[in-house]
Structure 1
Amino acid sequence: MPNYYDKLDSVLRALADPTRRAIVERLAKSPAVVSELAAPFSMALPSLMQHLRLLENAGLVTSQKQGRVRTVSLRPGALDVLHLWLGEQRTSAERQADRLGMHLIRATPKET
């Protein structure tokens, strides 16, 4: 079992919620202040802050406070662990498909 599974679990838990996925999608475009992130959602600001805290604990976002304004950014490379895991799964599936393809080629009678 690869040693990055704890990080992967944390990222997947954070992205399991549609609100948090929407926040990550928004932050992929550019950093945003909390009030801007809250605008599309019909929830109280403390609830949004809870989502942001979970994303920050998972290592997906960072935030900076300047005066009374908190700016949130997607952390560079934050989704790399997810990309790595998906790549490993894709590689396994591709190997199985290749073996099936080879089997079908061998099993198909040749035309003369």
Structure 2
Amino acid sequence: MLIKGIPTTVDNHIVDLALREVGFIVLPYREDEAPEKDANIIYFGRDMELPEIKLAALTLMQAGIDLKAIKPFPKPTQGNLRAIKIEWNKYYESRKSLLPDEVEAAKGFN
């Protein structure tokens, strides 16, 4: 499982360690990519299992990331089938924050 996009508003080292501990491979930003300052959504690949998505979301929430949405990637590609991308999207900023209980109880995300 790959994950990318740890924002600069959290302690990158701690979040990186926590995600690796639960089985994720944390991909670094490329030189031509600017790290996200904040995050409010995670996108996931179609081959990600529901428990894996929940685990990533809850780990990020515990680190202080205010998630507003969890969605599948808009366009699946070979590179993102088993991946999660952490981003900030202005469209979701006005939505209410997800609660850990809501994530745990979810039967799926779309």
- Do the two structures share a fold, i.e. TM-score over 0.5? no
Q: Which has the higher contact order (CA 8 A, sep 6+)?
A: 2
Q: Which is helix-richer, 1 or 2?
A: 1
Q: Give the structure with higher Rg (CA).
A: 1
TM-score by length of 2: 0.31
Q: Which is strand-richer, 1 or 2?
A: 2
